[in-house]
Structure 1
């Protein structure tokens, strides 16, 4: 499976690190508007860099969205429309209306796995 990561700031770089440690992940493709940051992460974790979200979506099976919250709705919508399994970091969107639209969009993509990442969700102490 090939994973994409949109946004490689502090949370995104963690996703890249973990994905590169999973044996069934064949490759990781990253995109970030900050090209220097993308290059640094790509070199550190042997990931490939896409020049745009559109390019990334053509190359991957699933996507982790780690971009700033104001882009979550846009990126999640693009991923679903492209037929990609998607994990979006919390919150799902920056507004109630965007969240509601995204839930409506999900109804027409029931074949895809979609989740919202909550950092403490799998912490054994919780």
Structure 2
């Protein structure tokens, strides 16, 4: 089974975490907000990280649910780490960045 993770634990990230927890193998969540990420990690009995790059070492697939302005950088880091990536909409603020990701 694929090991899944979520980067960003706002409302959409929490939804991704819930779905992975119920239907897949959620192995971790990451967010700069240490209180929020701890809460979500404990809710789903999974590891939690303030540094998403540490999460990337342990997953096969990752949902990117950070603010849109960060989608490009975080997604490229995940892609460059060899991970499958699901990006919340909109893919990026700028078409050229979205095209680079695709």
> What range describes the TM-score normalised by the shorter chain of this pair?
over 0.9
Superposition deviation, residue 26 in structure 1: 2.9
SS in 2 for 1:43: helix
Superposition deviation, residue 101 in structure 1: 2.1
Superposition deviation, residue 75 in structure 1: 1.1
SS in 2 for 1:94: coil
Superposition deviation, residue 81 in structure 1: 0.6
- The TM-score normalised by the length of structure 1 is 0.76
Q: Does 1:83 align with 2:82?
A: yes
Cα 1:37–1:102 shift into 2, 3 Å: same
**Per-residue deviation, residues 14-61 of structure 1 (Å, max 9, x unmatched):** 110111101xx3333110010100011111111211231210110111
Q: Does 1:47 align with 2:56?
A: no
Superposition deviation, residue 2 in structure 1: 1.2
Mapped partners of 1:16, 1:90: distance in 2: 16
The answer to which structure, 1 or 2, has the higher relative contact order (CA under 8 A, 6+ apart) is 2
Superposition deviation, residue 94 in structure 1: 0.9
Unaligned runs of 5+ in 1: 104-126
Matched positions, count: 101
- The TM-score normalised by the length of structure 2 is 0.92
Runs of 4+ in structure 1 over 2 Å off:
25-28
Unaligned runs of 5+ in 2: none
